[in-house]
Structure 1
Amino acid sequence: MKRKTKYLIIISFDGLSTLDFEYINTLPNFKRFIQNSSYCRNVYSIYPSLTYPAHASIVTGKHPKNHKIINNTLIQPNRISPDWYWQRSYIKSQTFYDIAINNGMKVAALLWPVTGKSKIQYNMPEIFSNRPWQNQIIVSLLNGSPMYQIGMNHKYGNIRKGKSQPELDNFIQKCLINTLTNKKPDITMAHFTDLDTKRHYHGFDSKEAKDSLLRHDKRLGEILDCLKETDMDEDSTLVILGDHSSLNEDKIINFNVVLKEEGFIKVNSKNEIKEWKAILKNCGGSAYIYTKNNDSEMKNKIKKILEKFNSKYNCIEQILTSEEASYLGADSECDFMLEAKKGYYFLDSHRGEPIKNVKIEDVGNVPHITLSTHGYSPYKKDYTTVFIAKGKGIKPGVKIDNMSLVDQGGTFSRLLGFELENIDGRVLEEILD
């Protein structure tokens, strides 16, 4: 199979929504990129529509139930900040970048989720120090490419202020331009979280979110200019994509409070979970319920408790069985999956009241308290994301009515001259030249 492009550059603007398309098409650099590009304004994310499952789906062409990144974080009761699915080893499937590496190609990844300890040659993985004794730089070095990261940190580390935005994306942008200029990888993947962060803390339509789109426009312009200045543009395919949209919310569902009251969760004298028979694991706008022991009687009891709870609070849109969740691509090992109504989202807490109002003063100060979130069903209204491709191997001006995130991995593989096997999506043949 013939390779269609020399350089594939994939830019993920986390949280970019279909609802942003009209606005970004008025911004100078998005406008010049969208012109003569092939694009889809209605891209369905995966279920749950979270960053880590989404980015794993992008590189595998599979749904979460098949690549096994079924959430952002692991089930770790009592941890305020559970560990994330940081390492490549969590993905139980082939990725298009692994095949590329095996075929002698060079890959760069900047804050691309689930790439820790992968074979990527220029790797600055998304990972943070999650223990008091850990150091951020050491954790990153141990999970990525040490010399590459040392060089980037030496040049641009002064820009970054921990995980705060827009400083983190400004740092990644500098590293990206340097990497494209000096390394010229066959594949470059960069993940920017400025927009998603601002929407979480300020709301979907906030001024802060609009400002982040302006910064993304500037970043896109610098990338386009870099490709031209390095004479890469004629041989490059540039893809701009989102991983999910988000929805405003103002109420929190803490169903583990109910499971504790019903005796499925046992706590110690410090009100810490010491054992559980059933537990909720949140995915933001949706949540899994897992049980220990395949006990049908216990599942029936939980189902009745859920229905009674929902008749009182009217906060859950759907109660899905394991089979129904799996059909939508979510974790087939769950016992139930809950879909929150608009305005609600789930947390894991077993303390306090089962339903809490979001307090503005807690946003940004109390962990996991936000004004907008995601993780909902990809089929909620006005909740799709976007995909825009242009350059080598891409036909100009093709508009795709709708597509799925799982259609991207196979398409990227085809551009690179090989097949990604057993994908859940399809190859976007209509845009390939």
Structure 2
Amino acid sequence: MEQLTNHLIVISFDCLSALDFPLLQTLPHFKTILEKGSYVKKVASIYPSVTYPCHTTIVTGNYPNKHGIINNTLLQPGRTSPDWNWYRKLIKGTTLYDEAKKANLTTAALLWPVTGKANIDYNLPEIFPNRPWHNQILVSLRNGSPRYQWDLNQRFGHIRNGLNQPELDDFVLASTVHTIKTKKPNLLLVHFTDLDTQRHHYGFSSREAFASILRHNERLGRIFSALKESGIYENSTIIALGDHSALDESKALNLNVLFQQHKLISVNAKGKINNWKAYCKSCDGSAYIYLKDRDDFETSNKVKRLLKSLLADPAAGIEKILNAEEAASKGADGSCTFMVEAKKGYYFLEDFQGVYVKNVTREDVLVDKKYTLACHGYSPEKPEYSTIFMAAGKGIRHKTVVQKARLIDEGPTMARLLGLNLGDTDGKIIKELLTV
């Protein structure tokens, strides 16, 4: 298959929304992509629309129930900080970077989700220490490219301030610029999370979110400059995309509190879960309901009655209930027993003690990072909830606007640019964007 570009630079601006288009059109570096290239006005995300499933969909072209990353975190009932889906081995099937390696192309990834121990030439995976005895740098080194990461830390580690933003993205930017200039990868995947962080902490349309988009514009400009300085700009394709949008919320729903009250979760004397029959696994704006025994019809019926009573209560925050088959039909995890969608203004947590509906204040957000003022994870069918895809450079048509596409279509489209094939994918190539 003909290769349309020599260098594919994929930049994910986590939580960039279709609603951001009017602002992006006024910013010089985003404006460059929009005026020189093409874009999709509204990209439908996936269900649940959270970061790790989304980024796996982007590089596979498949829905979560096909690629296997069905949530950010693992089902670990009662754990305050569950482990995340960090590792490549958890993805079913191939990925864009796997196919690039098979074609002897040079690959690089910086903080791209679910790339722990992936076969990527220059890999700084997104992974953090989730045990008191873990160390951030050592955890990263063990799960990526050690020599490459050590060099980046020696050069740019002083920029970081733990995992805080915007310093983390500034470190990723410096590392990206250096990687472009010294490695000139054929495929580069970069994940920036500044905007997502600000929207979670301060709200969708906050001053802080606005400021982060301005910073992203400057980051994009630095990447353009690096491509030019390295002499590969004319032979490159730059893609800027979002993985999901976000919605403001102010009420957290704790279904596990009700499950405990109905004796579906039991707690020991230390306040820890020691057994469970049903558990609400949060995906922020939606949640999976799992049964410990999927054939426990008594528990299933009990949960169903409880959920239906909440659906009938306007103040309970539940918009929709799906069974396993309905969840699977939308690309979500069919091994759940139910999936629930929150109303706008609500989201799910996994607390099993306290109140069912928790009013979230700014003070709560400052004290505990589980509380947010805007989040995602909602159904892509929610109104005004689309994300974004724009591209410019080799292989991309000039000034073509595609009204609608799906997140699952991005992987096959990017594969086509590199002359690769992801196989039998849920998505299809967005042919209108390409020169062939």
Confirm or deny a common fold (TM above 0.5). yes
Q: Which position in structure 1 is the counterpart of 2:429?
A: 427
Deviations 1:74-130 (A, max 9, x none): 111222111100000111121021011011111100000000000001000000001
Alignment of 1:26-425 (within 5 A): 26-293=26-293, 294-312=295-313, 313-425=315-427
Matched AA of 1:214: L
Deviations 1:171-225 (A, max 9, x none): 0000000000010011000000000000000000000000000000101111112
Deviations 1:234-281 (A, max 9, x none): 110100000000000000100001111111111101121111111000
Unaligned stretches of 5+ residues in structure 2: none
SS in structure 1 of the partner of residue 390 of structure 2: strand
Q: Which position in structure 2 is the counterpart of 1:10?
A: 10
SS in structure 2 of the partner of residue 123 of structure 1: strand
Matched AA of 2:82: P
Matched AA of 1:362: D
Matched AA of 1:109: A
Q: Name which of structure 1's ranges 166-175 and 352-361 shifts more when overlaid on structure 2.
A: 352-361
Q: CA deviation at 1:320?
A: 0.6
Matched AA of 1:95: T
Provide the identity percentage: 52
Distance of 1:185 and 1:365 partners within structure 2: 41
* Contact kept? 1:24, 1:31, Cα under 8 Å: yes
Distance of 1:429 and 1:419 partners within structure 2: 14
Distance of 2:309 and 2:272 partners within structure 1: 26
SS in structure 2 of the partner of residue 363 of structure 1: helix
* Contact kept? 1:58, 1:409, Cα under 8 Å: yes
Unaligned stretches of 5+ residues in structure 1: none
* Contact kept? 1:80, 1:367, Cα under 8 Å: no
Q: Name which of structure 1's ranges 227-236 and 118-127 shifts more when overlaid on structure 2.
A: 227-236
Q: CA deviation at 1:226?
A: 1.5
Distance of 2:321 and 2:136 partners within structure 1: 39
Distance of 1:309 and 1:274 partners within structure 2: 26
Matched AA of 1:309: L
Distance of 1:147 and 1:295 partners within structure 2: 51
**TM-score normalised per structure 1:** 0.99
Distance of 1:387 and 1:237 partners within structure 2: 13
* Contact kept? 1:237, 1:390, Cα under 8 Å: yes
Matched AA of 2:310: F
* Contact kept? 2:310, 2:318, Cα under 8 Å: no
SS in structure 2 of the partner of residue 423 of structure 1: coil
Q: CA deviation at 1:413?
A: 1.1
* Contact kept? 1:364, 1:370, Cα under 8 Å: no
Q: How many residues align?
A: 433
* Contact kept? 2:61, 2:410, Cα under 8 Å: yes
SS in structure 2 of the partner of residue 390 of structure 1: strand
Q: CA deviation at 1:296?
A: 2.8
* Contact kept? 2:17, 2:387, Cα under 8 Å: yes
Distance of 2:89 and 2:327 partners within structure 1: 24
Distance of 2:425 and 2:42 partners within structure 1: 20
Distance of 1:420 and 1:303 partners within structure 2: 39
Q: For the aligned residues, what is the CA RMSD?
A: 0.9
**TM-score normalised per structure 2:** 0.98
